[in-house]
Amino acid sequence: MELDYRAILNRYAVSLMEGRRLSPETIRAYVKDLEDLVAFLGEHGFPVPDRRLVRSYLLRLTSRYDRSSVNRKLSAARGFFGYVAKVHGLGANPFGHVRSLKRARSLPRFLSPDEIFDLIEKVSDPRDRALLELLYSTGIRVGEAEGLKCCDVDMQEGFVLVTGKGSKQRMVPVGSRAIEAVRTYLLTRGIEDPLYCTEPLFLGRRGGRLCSRVMRRIVEGWAMQAAIAKRVSPHVIRHTFASHMLDAGADLRSIQEMLGHASLSTTQRYTHLHVDKLMEVYDKAHPRAREG
């Protein structure tokens, strides 16, 4: 059976946007993964994948990507061929039997308070300053920051309305420094009160919505200028927010709510950071520990 996978992928992308309630960032990642899969199938004449071809594709993935990327690409392949099987009557999903790889447990990377303060203080551009202040103040995902509208920021009460995964909305507190940075930025756009303004909160240089890819470049660029000796991304700032909140005594449930985690076990990764710090303090301070 010969199938036009490129045309099917175009229709599948539309179905993702209309029916799955996924974020634009997630859809872009899925489509990019599937474009790579279609290119792989093209190298073999666009067949319906059998077990041998599926194993060959899995081998290619594991030789090029880390486990989390492999699992995301396999998830995209399962979803795509589930769609192909349903629409084109393939029968079984060729990727339906493929299990995700077990993820190696790794602790999130984060910045110290001095590092994140040095980074933010280095930022001179009003828009970029507002972006970094908001990311650190709230811990929101970069895709969530991309989707914000001006009216989502409540300047008076100090909250931001965030639309997360699955279009779930949550109210997240915002610190006064971030509020002032956002206010300063909006004034450069002539917006004194964002309450009724439905424009995107962050605009690109050409006036359109600032996309998450450019946001990542902005964070990385300012981190280089601030001479931060670590790789810094919006997700590292998200981890930094969670770690600093935990260190300051915030409870896990509150952090879970602010981060928009569906499961508390996801948030509990940050307790390992906290325990490591406690052990370091213990080893330095306890008389019996010092004897060793």
Q: Which residues belong to the active site?
A: 141, 165, 235, 238, 261, 270
**DSSP secondary structure string, 43-107?**
HTTSPPP-HHHHHHHHHHHHHHS-HHHHHHHHHHHHHHHHHHHHHHT-SS-TTTTPPPPPPPP-P
CA distances from 24 to 30, 124, 245 (A): 10, 29, 28
| Residue keyed to tokens 């995902």 | 141
Q: In what order do the strands lie in the sheet with 159-163?
A: 153-154, 159-163, 169-173
Q: Interhelix angle for 252-259 vs 269-285, to 10°?
A: 140
